[in-house]
Amino acid sequence: MSTLKIKRITTELLDVPIKRPHQFSTVKVSDKSFVLVKIELSNGVTGIGEGTTPGIWWNGESVETMKLVIDRYAAPLLVEEKAAYVEKLLQKLNRHIRGNAFAKAAVEMALFDALGKTYHVPVHQLLGGHHQDKIPVRWALASGTPEGDIDEAKRHAAAGNYANFKTKSGHDAPENDARRNIRIAAGLRGHSSIGIDPNGSWDRMTVMKWMDAFFEAGIDFLEQPLPPQDFEGLARLSSMKKVPIMADESLASVQDALRLVQEKAADIFSLKIHKSGGMKNTVKIAGIAEAAGISCFGGTSLESSIGTAACVHAYASIPNLDYGSELFGPAWLADDLVKNPLVIKEGYIHVPHHPGLGVELDEAKVEKYKRKEEKGALAK
């Protein structure tokens, strides 16, 4: 296996519809874009991975930038390299390509899938083995109205689909946002609870003013309430010891994790394999959190079953994943890209145990959702 080499890396842009419009802090979307990555090894095995992001507003990458970086820069660096030297290959990418964590994560995902298929083991075995067989899933409420969010959550809770929820905030002014979330929490009292995710759009004074009200409303956590660079502000909020502060956009690298620990700026780490450059880096970040006594939450970039499977393999290997996950991507999409989509039952997503990622690409779906024309100004 030491002579196993990477023979070819290809990419394709795909656009998949979602079941209902989803309101982020800056944009409302009705479909989800992906870059599909295929890595073919010298033994004929092909691994699949995907890159996706909430939008270029989130961290500066998009599926279009990922495709360009992979095609023009990453692929030439990796073709004919030894496939089993994963850490060495990742360091080579880091040395020659600055940033672009989402693109690197998509490449690493396809490589791990190919290696898992080659060795006939699930990816979690390549990451050290799994700690749990299933992971709780928290559904994100983003209908755009408090009434819509309350109704949606009650339906899911009554059906036994999901037990807990979080709201996507930041679209309104912070004061109005705070009131809206208190209203949602009150509407769900006795049924469930919520965490709040403003995507870094609130300010210190607003959060401090409303912290007691959030505590009394039973809010589970505040995910990235302040801008990513405001570590001092996050530390001040965490020191209030009211509602746990979760770091997301402030936490991308192992260096970010160490700084958050040193500054006592987070009670929970929101993990995402794309923002951290892959599964291996995500597991490293969780190890730093474990050493500091910090809990972890399995975040999502709203992946299809391909990326979600990669998340499940990584998160299942982490012992301090105390806050579950939000791996609802496959249930959120109106269709999927694999023949065997991951299934969420009774609020849990189960760890795949087939070789590689454990999902099989549906080429007919790839052809159906393949981007036929450019979007935006390039389409003119």
Catalytic residues: 168, 326
Contact 48, 110 (CB under 8 A): yes
Distance CA 298, CA 308 (A): 10
